[in-house]
Structure 1
Amino acid sequence: MKQSPTGLQYTILKKGHGPKAKSGQQIMLFETTSYRTGQVLYSNENTTTPVKVLIGGKQATKAVDEALVGMREGEIKKIVAPPYLVKRTGYPPNVHPDSTLVIKMILHKIL
């Protein structure tokens, strides 16, 4: 795994194609979020409905926004995000606010 200056760890599981995603662009994303133990907290990976995200638009956590920049369509990236990069105002009942999260992201489409 590589590590960014913010402490985000990541690895590219599959390379994508086409232009790189940039801050300010909308993308369609499949995602699976889990604890380091492998316990899945959220996933839309096995659905036909990706989530639309504006990169840098505060719609996702800092970790997801950071990891999306530079990804290409079809790329699969696994990130390990420390708690300070996944902080949010509201937490689903199954997510502890001080958790390190593992997120598998599939950039489906850049809009």
Structure 2
Amino acid sequence: MNYIVLSIPLLLLNLNVDSVHSETKAQVKKLQIGIKKRIDNCTVKSTKGDLLHMHYTGKLEDGTVFDSSLDRNQPLTFTLGSGQVIKGWDQGLMGMCEGEKRKLVIPSDLAYGSRGSPPKIPADATLIFEVELVKIEKKDEL
């Protein structure tokens, strides 16, 4: 009987450790959006279907820069929500104002996943982007 009584607390302790570990994994997999520069009196925000002109710098978690539009002095232009960019961008750039800057921490499943984008982006890489919305062309104006 003593054996059974002692094993139950150990089993509960083990379950608690597993649940904490699972929560940590879940937190890592979420898209994180930080506002670096907020725009006062923003009347027009980015929505699905808008043509966005974005400046960005992309880094790996160790700080290695893998791409930057600033190096080319040319913003990237794409249609938001159309799958032209990684899912983390399609989600993380919604509701932005012209001139706004954000920091996006994008888990691999919302970026390049297990395939990566060799040679610069390894498999299962979390990506960090500093982005600035230069211009919005609303979908109804296109």
Q: Which segments of structure 1 move beyond 4 Å, counting only runs of 4 or more?
A: none
**TM-score normalized by structure 2?**
0.69
Structure with higher helix content: 2
Report how many residues are paired.
Answer: 106
1:52-84 Cα distance to aligned partner (Å, 9 max, x none):
010011110000111111000000000111100
**Identity score, percent:** 32
- TM-score for the superposition, normalised by structure 1: 0.87
**Higher alpha-carbon Rg:** 2
Q: Which has the higher contact order (CA 8 A, sep 6+)?
A: 1
- Ranges in structure 2 where 5+ consecutive residues have no aligned partner: 1-28, 138-142
| Alignment-derived partner of residue 45 in structure 2 | 20
Partner AA of 1:29 in structure 2: M
Match of 2:30 in 1: 7
SS at match of 1:64: helix
RMSD of Structure 2 on Structure 1 (CA): 1.8
1:73 and 2:98 equivalent?
A: yes
Pick one of 87, 105, 109 that aligns with 2:131.
105
Q: Deviations over 1:34-63 (max 9, x none)?
A: 011111010112443101010011110000
Determine which structure has the larger strand proportion and give its number: 1
Q: Deviations over 1:10-52 (max 9, x none)?
A: 1100013441100111010011100111110101124431010
Runs (5+) with no aligned partner, structure 1 = 1-5
